[in-house]
Structure 1
Amino acid sequence: MKHLLSMHQLSNDMIFSLLEKTECMKKGEGKTLQGSFAANLFLEPSTRTKQSFYVAEKRLGMEVLDVEAERSSVLKGESLYDSVRTLEALGADVLAIRQSERGALSKIAEHSEVSIINAGDGTGEHPTQSLLDLYTIYEEFGGFKDLTVTIAGDIKHSRVARSNAYALKQLGADIQFSAPEQWRETEGDYVSMEEAVETSDVLMLLRIQRERHENQDDIGSYLTMYGLTKEREKCMKERAIIMHPAPVNRGVEIDSSLVECSKSRIFKQMKNGVFMRMAIIDELMEGKQNEDHKRFSLGQGICATM
């Protein structure tokens, strides 16, 4: 694997391989990538994802360059493509990118030698968040087949929902959604929040993305109408878990007292994010080394015939 841009590029075998590698990273069995160079180009706000990448890269022993949006030459008119080629020219081996244009990284990756990781592309996809969510579920249940997973909230604007719905369905989970009418995608099995809490093994809440909403009128009553209240939490299955990609709007998507309740795995997701991103980077670096070895071997063969 040269790039990680979408969950659609990963087979079930590839996903399980990354889950196993993540487990090794969590046990401290990962190898060092000392001497390698990672760059993080974040053109949209981020705390968890950006810092998770930074910690993962440092734990792998990599040199790290963080590019802040407000200090990037993109503000001077430089294209994203030229920014990527610049970081590649400076010696980056792996580049994590967050930017607002859905699908923009695919064409750039076709012409890039640096391994690109999609760290969120507008309302498109968020594959590393999906993979850390999958690992968190796998840790809890040991698999995905026949689990009922409800993705609840701002479905229309959520790249997390898009990546997770695809991956979990591919892995055999039963996927349903819960959302106000105006925040739904056209496809999917939608249920009320009352039905969701009673039937779900995994209740995956989403952040209301205020920055992508023109109308803010419905947000004030969201918790009562569609969020996870203390009353609704009491109706959940005994072994069910609560997830959220964060940042959490306390008292909006979820009652504040439930963020760290016994069913919540929200902060565990964050912790797992570091180990999953270590696994992803390690996988990409292995792919890069294999490609370099093939090119070297081919070059040696050509020289031998001259």
Structure 2
Amino acid sequence: MTAFGYFLSCEEFTPAQLLDQARRASDAGFTRLAISDHYHPWNDAQGSSPFVWSMIGALSQSVDLPVTTLVTCPTVRLHPAVTAQAAATSSVLLGGRFTLGVGTGEALNEHVHGDRWPSFAERADMLEEAVEVMRELFTGRQVSHCGRHYAVDNARLYTVPADAPPIYVSGFGPNAAALAGRIGDGFVTMAPDRELVEEFRSAGGAGKQVIGGVKVCWNEDRDKAVDLVLRLWPTELLPGELAQILPTPAHFEQASELVTSEMISDAVNCGNDTDRHIATLRSYVEAGFDEVYVGQIGPDNEAFFDNYRSAVLPALPG
């Protein structure tokens, strides 16, 4: 049975707006929340990027829903020992209803210390070691570690939940899916790709959760919705590894000049066609996803939540 949650985009909304959306999502019938972890927005038009761990603390006091990071990179900007402390505290605040979604990251967020941006193979190796370090720290025992990428010297987390937070690994190709199957408690991927889900399951992910997310733009005027997506989220349509290697919002704005309104209209669910919104989410159910998070693009949140409450969510299995 697939559960449906709401995706909080830190890149597009202020802290107050995100908290308001979380409350509206709960009232609308969404059963969980996901939240992005960004140092920069993808472009200046989005215009926001609050610190995710502060936001999770605020969410824990505002709504009674589970929260998942989609996703945190625990390898460059934050050391895995620091990420482990943040995740453990978040899980305590949420009464154990916290999932740590992790990934190999984007240069956009991780280059800020001035470090070299590694290749995917190196980043995947770093992520595997980071997950190992975090799992050791979640035990609450004193940990020392000297590995290829990280050193930990007599570190101990004194605030830990009764059960370690699950770690879900993000990936968009077969190699990442295989890594998630091997080291993750679950798999995060955005597109409803049944073959990728099967790759994860065959690589050790049998019986583990698969979660995904999709951005939509509910608006009574479909052309206006397309224009909003083109202005705010053209990056959704950038191909290949551009999202991982471009370092600044300005670079993403340059690359996004290649994205057209026609491309947005074909690829992103824009407008107020209830059946189309239902069909979009059903595609994830049919691909074998256990959780799906929906993010609304643009300011028309009230209409989005009203229609998802009354028409979209009631029509979905669950």
Fold match by TM threshold 0.5:
no
Could you state the TM-score of these two structures normalised by the residue count of structure 2?
A: 0.29
Higher Cα Rg: structure 1 or 2? 1
